[in-house]
Every structure is written in C-alpha cells, then in structure tokens.
Amino acid sequence: MYNIIKTKQPNNLINTSIMKYLYYLVIISLLITSCGNKNKQSVDAIIASNNLELIRKKKTELDASAQKMASQIKQLEEKIRDLDPQEKVPLVTTFTAKETIFTHFIELQGNVNTKENLVIHPEFSGILTHVFVKEGQWVSKGQMLAKIDDGGLSQQLAQLKIQAALSKTTFERQERLWNQKIGSEIQYLQAKSSYEAQQQAVNQLEQQLGKTIVRAPFSGTIDDVITEQGSVVVPGQSPLFRIVNLNDMYIETDVPERYISDIIKGKKVKVAFPILQKEMDATVRQAGNFINPSNRTFKVEIAISNKNASIKPNLTAKLKINDYTNEKAILIPQSIISEDAEGQQYVYTIVNKTKNIATVKREFIKTGKTQGNYIEVLSGIKNNEDIIDEGARSVREGQEVKILISQ
C-alpha cells in the first residue's frame, strides 16, 4: 500500500497544480470579460463624446491592460508545460516503408539520325539534260530522277549490238558444222571467242550507258534539287539531289563506359523532344562494343517511330535510359537520412508504439541508387517498418515521441 501511494503522489500533485492554474486562468478570463463589458460601455461613452484627448487616454489604458493580461497568460502556459510531462514529448510524423518497383534511369542527350539521308552524285560526266523530279516529291526505289547526256554511247552500243548479232550467227553456224564433224576445231573456237567478246563489249557499254540515268537508291522524299537542268556534272564532285526517308529514324547518343554492362539491347528508354513538346517510349536497338578512347563512351542507337514525319534528322532529344530495376525496393526521402562521425548513414524508426506514443530507435542503413528526392535502401529497413519523417532531426535514440500523423 505504501508503494502505491508513493507512486501516485507526484501525479496527484501535478494534477492539483494544473487544476489550480486552470482555475486561475478561468477567473482571469471572467475578470477580462467583466472588465471588457464595463470598458465597452465606457469606450462607447468616450467615443460618443468626440473628445480626442479622452479617446487617446482610454486607448493607452486598454493597451497596458492587454499587455499585462498577455504576460500573465504566457506565464501560466510555461508553468503548465513545466508540470505536465506530456508537454515535453517531441511531436513527429511517420510513414510506413513499403516494397515497390524501383526503375532507375540515366539522363542523356542525343541527336536524331537516319541511315537513309543521302546526297546523290552522278556516276557519269556530261550535261544534265533532264531532271524528272522536284523538291518535296516522294519517289520509289529505282525511280528515274535525272538523265545525263551519254556523249554518243547509245550510237556505239547500237553498232556493237549489230556486230554482236553477226558474231552470234557466225558462231551458231560454225557450231552446227562442228557438231556434224565438218570444219576444223580452230574455226569453231574462233567463232565462239568472237561472239563472247562481242557480247561482253555490249554488256560493258550498256553498264556505262546505264550510269547516264540517275535513279533513287531507296524510297524517300527529294529534300533538295541541288543541280539544275543543263549543268555539267562530274562524278564525285557535282551533288545532284538530297533524298531523305523519315520512316527509319533513330537516336544516337554517347554513354559513359561505366554503364557498358547495364545498358544493352532491349533496355527501355523514355524519349522527349523539347522543341516538339512530344514524348514517347522506345527501346535500345543497338549498344556499341567499342569504347571511344578520347571520351570513354560507347555508342547507343534507339529506334523511334515517326509516322507523321514530325521528327527530323539532327533534332535534339532528351533520353532517360533504364539501367537498373528492383522489383522489391524500399524508397525513403533523402532528407531524413543522417550520418555519424564515421560516415555511417542512419534513420530513426519507432518501436513500442501505444496509440500515438512510441519510442525512437536508430537504424543504420545501406543505400543504393537515387531517383529525384528518394533513395533506395539496400539494407537496414524492413518492409512495413515505421520511419520518422517530420521531426527526425530533433529526436534521439530511446526518446519517447508523440506521433501526429502516420502515413
């Protein structure tokens, strides 16, 4: 019985003191209200008098009274905090750690390219006699774009064909005779050789004549007609047309070598074109195997869709390439992490929770990759563990805290 009375006595004293000060606070409030009613009547009368001196005097009296009352209320509040242990408990907010899918991206910049962007040059010297296309025109692969003067090759080809036809007839006759054992073998071989030589000469001249016709190497749009009809063109020196196909587009970027094992073919990419205000999802089409020694990077190609032809070559793109994914990651705000003198990272969790009162516990953690304001926790925090958020900088291990909000 003695122990019980001794244990409860401090609480009774505290409660008695609190009740006493609350009683005083009520009395003071009643006095303020009572005085307020009298002052209100007095103030109304003074205002009605229109006496500036009396009005100013009354205001000074009320200001002094208000300051005195405020000082007394502040003293009461300080005493209540000193006597009530609940007033000393720090207030915190907590959140529950949950396993989630964590997808990390590296941010890079790249340029749009296409393998079908070509300036067409002639393969034959001469005058550009005909241009059959105009800028902006869609052409198919193999379509005739222009004609260069052949310089008499067509007439030479016609003569060679006549000679080839004669050689063919001579060879066929000689072959029939040889099959009938008539004539000598040398005559047969000479006729055959002459025919084959004439045929090769015709084929060679046809190939030369074919170079006088400029054809589209692939399907696309004539972006620019560079040389006008009537100009003299020379192989390798006179650009004729620029042809572009915007269907097979890709983005090329340089990736630091430390990601060589993380960024591979098939990785997901988020692509943004700031100029077009357009975003899309894509994948890595090709990851290079060569490290550039000058900047320690490797090339990556990302295929993109361009159905409406709004994406042009050399357009700048912002890339977010997925280099790491954790299906069961725990993420926490970076702002709640502290470090001790040895550089070890830790956060504060709560244990022994009873209603909204709990005890603080320090947990050392190991962190991984970051994304925005959050960081991945590799060890130290378990799923569904409560972590202190607001107020984490003002508590210590073993301290009792009051939880305001738990998320």
Return d(Cα 250, Cα 184) in angstroms, integer: 67
Look at residue 407 and tell me whether its pLDDT is greater than 70: no
Assessment of whether the complete model's pTM goes beyond 0.85? no
Task: Tell me the per-residue pLDDT of 149-198, one tens digit each, with 9 for 90 and over.
Answer: 988 888 888 888 888 888 888 888 888 888 887 778 888 888 888 888 88
Q: Give the residues across from 168 on adjacent strands.
A: none
Angle, to 10 degrees, between the axis of helix 185-210 and the axis of helix 153-179?
Answer: 160
- Supply the mean pLDDT for the chain: 84
pLDDT of residue 85: 57
pLDDT of residue 25: 53
pLDDT of residue 281: 93
Nearest to 98 by CA among 322, 401, 407, 397: 407
pLDDT band (50, 70, 90) for residue 88: low
At the second CATH level, the architecture of 91-102+327-406 is Beta Barrel (2.40)
pLDDT of residue 11: 41
pLDDT of residue 309: 84
Share of the chain above pLDDT 70, in %: 87
Q: Give the residues across from 175 on adjacent strands.
A: none
CA trace torsion 136, 141, 143, 147 (10° rounding):
90
Task: Tell me the per-residue pLDDT of 27-82, one tens digit each, with 9 for 90 and over.
Answer: 555 555 555 454 445 788 888 888 888 888 888 888 888 888 888 888 877 776 66
pLDDT of residue 12: 42
* Of 32 and 203, the one with more pLDDT: 203
Give the contacts of 25 (CB within 8 A, at least 6 positions apart).
73, 76
Task: Tell me the per-residue pLDDT of 250-263, one tens digit each, with 9 for 90 and over.
Answer: 999 999 999 999 99
| Residue spans per domain, the chain | 2-88, 91-102+327-406, 150-211
Return d(Cα 165, Cα 151) in angstroms, integer: 24
